[in-house]
Chain A
Amino acid sequence: AAGVIQSPRHLIKEKRETATLKCYPIPRHDTVYWYQQGPGQDPQFLISFYEKMQSDKGSIPDRFSAQQFSDYHSELNMSSLELGDSALYFCASSPQTGTDPGNTIYFGEGSWLTVV
């Protein structure tokens, strides 16, 4: 079965640079979530989109922005990178249309961002 696809899988950036992560949700999933998992930490919710509109916002820094496009893929843009942004960034997707009543969220493999 198709899963959530994230790219790139690994990314190394220098401080103050910009990074963009991409996420392709499971087909027919119209909701996308972004999570950040720091070393030894639990995943923290950043932001979510439903039908290309922001649906919820968590602990996302102002330096970060995200959007969902017409084909439902999403991009997380991170600017002025700091050492503390080094983390595993998960994208996840779920169907909102009632086919999965628990709104089960399916995660991608994650994108490792290292800021040096």
Chain B
Amino acid sequence: AQSVTQLDSQVPVFEEAPVELRCNYSSSVSVYLFWYVQYPNQGLQLLLKYLSGSTLVKGINGFEAEFNKSQTSFHLRKPSVHISDTAEYFCAVSSSYGNKLVFGAGTILRVKS
């Protein structure tokens, strides 16, 4: 079974500051890792994904994440956030032998001016 832990329920940050949203996973098999963003009252939008290969993956809206197998982490980063990045961010994992996504509890990113 897989599980995902998002260590921060809320992250407040000032506009143009860097941000890191933390995600750790556990799995007994190889995994695929994803970050989804959910804006208020909207659906889930894929930000980026790690399948294999380079451990640094770049996504939309200037976000990137680094897969660290030894630390079982997949932290999301952005060097300079905007007000429009205010949303809830979900880390998710799926097994290479199954398809369903297991989500973390989510991290609310609040960008302040």
* Chain A contacts to B: CB under 8 angstroms: 31, 33, 35, 41-45, 48, 50, 55-56, 58, 90, 92, 94, 96, 101-110
Contacts and interface: CB of A to CB of B under 8 A. Distances in A.
Contacts of B44: 43, 90, 92, 107
Nearest to B33: A102
26 contacts: A33-B99, A35-B101, A41-B105, A42-B105, A42-B106, A43-B44, A43-B90, A43-B101, A44-B103, A45-B100, A55-B99, A56-B100, A90-B43, A92-B44, A92-B101, A102-B49, A103-B32, A103-B94, A103-B99, A104-B46, A106-B46, A107-B43, A107-B45, A107-B46, A109-B43, A110-B43
B103 A31 contact: no
A42 B103 contact: yes
Top 4 A-B pairs, shortest CB-CB distance: A109-B43, A107-B44, A102-B51, A42-B103
Nearest to B42: A109
A104 B94 CA distance: 9
B44 to A, nearest CB: 4
A43 B51 contact: no
Interface residues of B, number: 21
Interface in B17-71: 32, 34, 36, 42-46, 49, 51
A33 B43 CA distance: 14
A96 B98 CA distance: 11
Interface of B: 32, 34, 36, 42-46, 49, 51, 90, 94, 98-106
Contact of A105 (B99, B104, B105): B99
A45 B92 CA distance: 12
A108 B43 contact: yes
Nearest to A103: B99
B110 to A, nearest CB: 15
Given A42-B105, A90-B44, A104 B100 contact: no
A107 B32 contact: no
B43 A102 contact: no
Given A101-B51, A105-B94, A110-B43, A42 B101 contact: no
